[in-house]
Amino acid sequence: MALDVVTSASAVPASEVLSQIIEAILEMVVAANNVFVNKESFIEVSTYLKRIVPVLKELNKKDLGNSESLNNAIEILNREIKAAKQLTMECSKKNKVYQLMNCRAIVKRLEDATREISRALSLIPLASLDLSTGIIVEIGKLCENMQTAEFRAAVAEEEILEKVESGIQDRNIDRSYANHLLSLIADAVGISTERSALKKELNEFKSEIENARLRKDQAEAIQMDQIIALLERADAASSPREKEMKYFSKRKSLGSQPLEPLQSFYCPITRDVMVDPVETSSGQTFERSAIEKWFSDGNKLCPLTMTVLDTSILRPNKTLRQSIEEWKDRNTMITIASMKSKLMSEEVGEVLHCLEQLQDLCQQRDQHREWIILENYIPSLINLLGSKDRDVRNQTLVILRILAKYSDDAKDTPDVQVAFGNCDNLQF
């Protein structure tokens, strides 16, 4: 926990330190009402601390002498309450999305501080200070409550974090997933779902990540980079023009020829490129469904090494899966970029084959639909609605309807608005 400059109880009179502690508590109580994430936890901690104030005021009336135990207790109280106040102040000002993504760590810091404050209270030599019975009983109850207090992120916040973790692990999530996730985040932290408001919040989130790098907190920065990469798939993350520039910058860097899959991409059992590669206890990787069928057929030996396998161990090979998905994305992007000229062919069969490929790509992933829009397929498809071949017209209309349904960004451009308007007016 980041700490303020700690005033040692031995450096100044105990009465002055107690006054500083009381002031810090009152400041934290006010700041807790301005926190957006984990607010209930902050309010609970501030409620505990408010109960400490009368005790501290009573202590301030006593001749505290130079008790080492009491000085130690006061020093711990001073340090932990100032740290809790600083955390509260930070969370009343920092970016809301950043706080949400860190909510588990924040409640852990609150819980640790509460435990330490409880320990400090238990170190106060009550018997020697001539405190009232009521004060002594109150301290005992307070210590017990604070020592056993447990803080957790709210249910809605936990659900969002689980969706974020799932989205990071599954690189095939589409734009609608990111849009829905961003909407949930906006509701949780109380911000507008308007594109401009969401983009502003995401930009502030990125700034907080840069601050984490400046603090040399690389682990946090890497984790937050993954979250940003996930949220940037949402429509609000960038304008159509920004998406277009990012897409063509990446596409031009890929070359023009699809790549053959690496040998490691193939499952040794199915001989097909893997979709869900898992590693067995022998260290070999197979397609999950294939190795599970291998086990269900009664086989206990590794198909490659013939060593005995622990059938309960199947570890997702995330690195290999990511490589396979990047290879697929690369080839798909190149394929989409190279297909458009085939729509102009005079051979009806070639045009139909190209349209079938386009439809398959549109139905596979939202990302593919976006790439097709960015490659400016709409005008070419609109032209095909005038084809003399009925199958070409019908196939084209199916694709246009898919694009019209799922491509909101494309509708913002005049040409596509006209195209989709024409599409809506056409019937099979």
Q: For residues 102 and 133, state if they share a domain.
A: yes
In a domain, 410, yes or no: yes
Nearest to 329 by CA among 356, 367, 378, 272: 367
Nearest to 253 by CA among 198, 326, 167, 314: 326
The total of structural domains in the chain comes to 4
Least confident segment among 62-71, 136-145, 248-257, 307-316: 62-71
Please state the three-class secondary structure of the chain as a single string: CCCCCCCCCCCCCHHHHHHHHHHHHHHHHHHHCCCCCCHHHHHHHHHHHHHHHHHHHHHHCCCCCCCHHHHHHHHHHHHHHHHHHHHHHHHCCCCHHHHHHCHHHHHHHHHHHHHHHHHHHHCCCHHHHCCCHHHHHHHHHHHHHHHHCCCCCCHHHHHHHHHHHHHHHCCCCCHHHHHHHHHHHHHHHCCCCCHHHHHHHHHHHHHHHHHHHHCCCHHHHHHHHHHHHHHCCCHHHCCHHHHHHHHHHHHHCCCCCCCCCCHHHECCCCCCECCCEEECCCCCEEEHHHHHHHHHCCCCECCCCCCECCCCCCEECHHHHHHHHHHHHHHHHHHHHHHHHHHHCCCHHHHHHHHHHHHHHHHHCHHHHHHHHHCCHHHHHHHHCCCCCHHHHHHHHHHHHHHHHHCCHHHHCHHHHHHHHHHHHCCC
Residue 133's domain comprises 14-148
* Amino acid letter, 310: D
Q: Express each pLDDT in 208-233 by its tens digit.
A: 888 877 776 777 777 888 888 888 88
Q: For residues 30 and 133, state if they share a domain.
A: yes
Q: For residues 139 and 18, state if they share a domain.
A: yes
Residue 427 — very low, low, confident or very high, per pLDDT cuts 50/70/90?
very low
pLDDT recorded at residue 70: 81
Measured between its terminal Cα atoms, the distance across the chain in Å is 65
Least confident segment among 2-11, 168-177, 363-372: 2-11
pLDDT recorded at residue 29: 92
Q: For residues 307 and 370, state if they share a domain.
A: no
Q: Which residue has the higher pLDDT, 256 or 356?
A: 356
CATH number at residue 280: 3.30.40.10
Q: For residues 37 and 137, state if they share a domain.
A: yes
Q: For residues 140 and 43, state if they share a domain.
A: yes
In a domain, 115, yes or no: yes
pLDDT recorded at residue 2: 38
Q: For residues 201 and 291, state if they share a domain.
A: no
Q: Output the average pLDDT for the chain.
A: 85
Residue entry with tokens 């004060």: 135
Q: For residues 39 and 95, state if they share a domain.
A: yes
> Are 279 and 314 in contact, with CB atoms under 8 Å apart?
yes
In a domain, 8, yes or no: no
In a domain, 333, yes or no: no
- Residue that is last in its domain, among 83, 114, 148: 148
CB neighbour list of residue 251: distance below 8 Å, 6 or more residues apart: 333, 334, 337
- Residue that is last in its domain, among 215, 237, 259: 237
Q: How far apart, in whole angstroms, are the C-alpha atoms of residue 42 and residue 53?
A: 17
Tokens at 126, concatenated: 């009550």
- Residue that is last in its domain, among 121, 148, 175: 148
Instruction: Point out which residues pair with 198 in neighbouring strands.
Output: none
Burial class of 385 by CB neighbour count within 10 A (0 to 12, 13 to 18, 19+): middle
In a domain, 7, yes or no: no
In a domain, 332, yes or no: no
pTM score of the predicted model: 0.64
In a domain, 365, yes or no: yes
In a domain, 251, yes or no: yes
Q: How far apart, in whole angstroms, are the C-alpha atoms of residue 27 and residue 21?
A: 10
Q: For residues 400 and 365, state if they share a domain.
A: yes
Q: For residues 199 and 257, state if they share a domain.
A: no
Q: For residues 281 and 310, state if they share a domain.
A: yes
Tokens at 337, concatenated: 């970029």
Q: For residues 256 and 233, state if they share a domain.
A: no
pLDDT recorded at residue 256: 84
Q: Express each pLDDT in 259-289 by its tens digit.
A: 999 999 999 999 999 999 999 999 999 999 9
